[in-house]
Copies of this chain bind each other. A is one copy, B any other.
Amino acid sequence: MMSNHIKLMQGNEACVEGAIAAGMRFFAGYPITPSTEIAEISAQRLPRVGGKFIQMEDEIGSMAAVIGASLTGLKAMTATSGPGFSLKQENIGYAAIAEVPCVIINVQRGGPSTGLPTSPAQGDIMQAKWGTHGDHPVIALSPSSVRETFDLTIKAFNYAEKYRVPVIMLMDEVIGHMREKVEIPNREDLEVIDRKKPTSGLVDYKPYRIEDGELVPPMAEYGGEYRFHVTGLVHDETGFPSNTPKVAESLIKRLIKKIDDNKKDIFLYEEYKLEDAEIALISFGSTARSAKSAVDMARAEGIKVGLFRPITIWPFLDTEIEQLAKKVNKIITVEMNLGQYAIEVERKACKYAHVDKYGKLNGELITPDEILKKIKEV
């Protein structure tokens, strides 16, 4: 018998269920293939838990509404795909500088532009980090299975709330649309992190004041006890704009540092048969599944290959990749693009290992056989 907690679930559905489990109570979106089910299921589910769903006039408005809602204290999310992700960029930067927690799901499809709207891709890896103007922090995660989509959506909210940062989930069409057996954990077993509220007196309250030894200011909500100002301009700890070079430098540096200094907490990855590996595949999302199959196939032929699967895409797993590079002779990155993650890998690994890349963007999931062939080539 199938237990109550065991279900066949679609990736996009797991995303919503994870979000609701994490406490999401606001969703604003605009439909786009292949992310649309996330909006649709949110519309169904949210009012049942007292949450709000709104379909905005476009993706820019959706991102704006999510930030607005988050400022009132709700956990808020939006979901989109390539073209919509491009449109959200300006306001993602706003969330980054104003430190408004939010989760942005990007179910990647074939780009650029309208591209291949119903096909999977992993072409927005770099965009997730660099899509908006100016240096800014983001966290990006990429799930490889339906169950992991559930778990990572919760993590995404946890990171967003803990670090007051926009967190991007880089799903892809395969993960979003596939249905898979999932065992949904009990609510009690989930770790859910809520944002830290300020405790200071009303009079000397400063919305961006950092407590000693911390890097993330506690966060009040509109409609609560504290009144405060929020802006996308460079601002000091009072939240008001400042042009002073010192203020500017220290704000942006802190924004970056709050993520950099917490890499240990944020770095997620999986290692598969790497213990004795001479060749390491690096792959994430749906292609990591192909890569895992390829590892098994290659091992069956006696080739010592393993898989390193980044789950955290940004911040880049620098120390881990360097470690890995020192351990193996060769690295092959496998991604559905022309080698985006490969750029970062090359940078950290080039001193220690030969880095090769396998990329494809024809709208089809990379197959284990292709990867096996590539393994044999190098």
Which A positions have Cβ atoms within 8 angstroms of B?
60, 82-83, 85-87, 89-90, 93-94, 96-98, 108, 110-119, 121, 123-124, 126-127, 129-136, 231-234, 243, 245-246, 248-249, 252-253, 256, 337-338, 340, 343-344, 346-347, 350-351, 360-364
Contacts and interface: CB of A to CB of B under 8 A. Distances in A.
A112 B136 contact: yes
Given A96-B112, A114-B231, A117-B233, A132 B136 contact: no
A97 B111 CA distance: 9
Contacts of A253: 338
Contact of A338 (B233, B252, B361): B252
19 contacts: A82-B134, A86-B93, A87-B90, A90-B113, A93-B112, A94-B112, A97-B114, A114-B231, A116-B243, A119-B248, A124-B133, A127-B132, A130-B130, A135-B337, A234-B363, A246-B362, A249-B362, A256-B338, A343-B343
A112 B133 contact: yes
A108 B133 CA distance: 9
Given A338-B256, A347-B343, A347-B347, A113 B232 contact: yes
A235 to B, nearest CB: 10
B135 A111 contact: yes
Contact of A97 (B112, B119, B126, B363): B112
A123 B111 contact: no
A340 B135 contact: yes
A262 to B, nearest CB: 17
Q: How many copies does the complex hold?
A: 2
A202 to B, nearest CB: 28
Nearest to A247: B362
B131 A86 contact: yes
B347 A233 contact: no
Contacts of A124: 133-134
A130 B123 CA distance: 10
B116 A132 contact: no
B361 A252 contact: yes
Nearest to A245: B362
Contacts of A123: 133-135
Contacts of A136: 111-113
